[in-house]
Amino acid sequence: MTDRFAGLDEGTLRRLRSAPHPEWVAPMLATLTDRRFSDASWLFERKLDGQRCLAFRHGAEVRLLSRNRRSLSATYPEVRDALGAQDVDDVVVDGEVVAFDAGRTTFSLLQQRMGISDEDRARRSPVAVAYYVFDLLHLDGQDTTGVGVRDRKALLRRTLHWADPLRFSSHRNGSGEAYFEEACARGWEGLIAKRADSPYVSRRGDAWLKLKCAAGQEVVIGGFTEPQGSRHGFGALLVGYYDGPDLVYAGKVGTGYSTAVLRDLHRRLVELEAPSSPFTRGQVGERRPHWVRPELVAQVAFAEWTTDGKLRQPRFEGLRDDKAPAEVRRERPS
């Protein structure tokens, strides 16, 4: 075992497990909660509005993969290069790629990079990105997922050299309520609360919790309406979420689009047009809607859910290509 593990106590060392470099580790996911709490046995991180990215360095090879295992190496070559320059050649980390606008992470700006799969074009993009790394899953022949998250982060901090675009995702211990108020006042998306002794498990659970300042939700696009007046492309998206096998209608999203987005998204929607509604629950009250195959996932911000299960004041933020439509569920606080 290398000196990177020096300083860990015997109990933590026993939670390490010898393992070959993994080809893939499914990400751990957080559960939405409306709890606001402080607890010394929990740590609290900033919730970032970006794209989940797992990075695998094995020898000279660096692979960047999305949460649905799609390669991101050509999309974020500066991140790949930075990890390739590290003095560790057997490591797996988890984090979020983000773009900033006026000091805030913005998913809509990151969209301009997410759609790029040509490395040269990505390097020419004016949209700069940062990779906030918040977890360590494998290091020097050791599976670290059984170690508690606080110890994993301590090990992570001293494993990598932190210079842009690599950034360590800092946290606060215990003081969740004050940090949440600060996060919302600064215009952040919210916080992620993590039980400090929790292992990394490849599923959603209650050891990681999402505390959101404003409501947000992934939705499946099932149709669109005609534009009115001088508007181009389409009027509104008709969206929903899955509940078991049913695609449940959740309302229409008519704001948040630039003219360029309206035109580009309309082109994609036309290619997916279908003869009948994909929604199997919920009444769509629009006249002469256009139906599409439910293959696109959008990120929306909204005020709240109405009593009849619709999104109130939804605003389009961008398309997501890192989540399958069948995985989109209505998020409910625990």
Q: How far apart are CA 269 and CA 294, in angstroms?
A: 10
- Exposed/middle/buried for 63, CB within 10 Å: 0-12, 13-18, 19+? middle
For residues 56 and 62, is the Cβ–Cβ distance under 8 A?
yes
Q: How far apart are CA 302 and CA 249, in angstroms?
A: 15
What does the pLDDT look like over 11-52, one tens digit per residue? Answer: 899 999 999 999 999 999 999 999 999 999 999 999 998 999
Q: Which CATH class is domain 7-212?
A: alpha beta
Superfamily classification of domain 215-327: Nucleic acid-binding proteins (2.40.50.140)
pLDDT > 50? residue 1:
no
Q: Is 60 helix (H, G, I), strand (E, B) or coil?
A: coil
Name the average pLDDT for the chain: 94
For residues 192 and 45, is the Cβ–Cβ distance under 8 A?
yes
Give the per-residue pLDDT at 192: 98
Give the per-residue pLDDT at 2: 56
Catalytic residues: 47
Q: What is the mean pLDDT of residues 201-224?
A: 94
Cα-Cα-Cα-Cα torsion 257, 263, 264, 268, nearest 10 degrees, comes to 110
Helices and strands (H, E) in the chain, number of each type? 7, 23
What does the pLDDT look like over 69-92, one tens digit per residue? Answer: 999 999 999 999 999 999 999 999
What does the pLDDT look like over 252-264, one tens digit per residue? Answer: 999 999 898 999 9
Name the residue ranges covered by the structural domains of the chain.
Answer: 7-212, 215-327
Nearest to 165 by CA among 254, 222, 84: 84
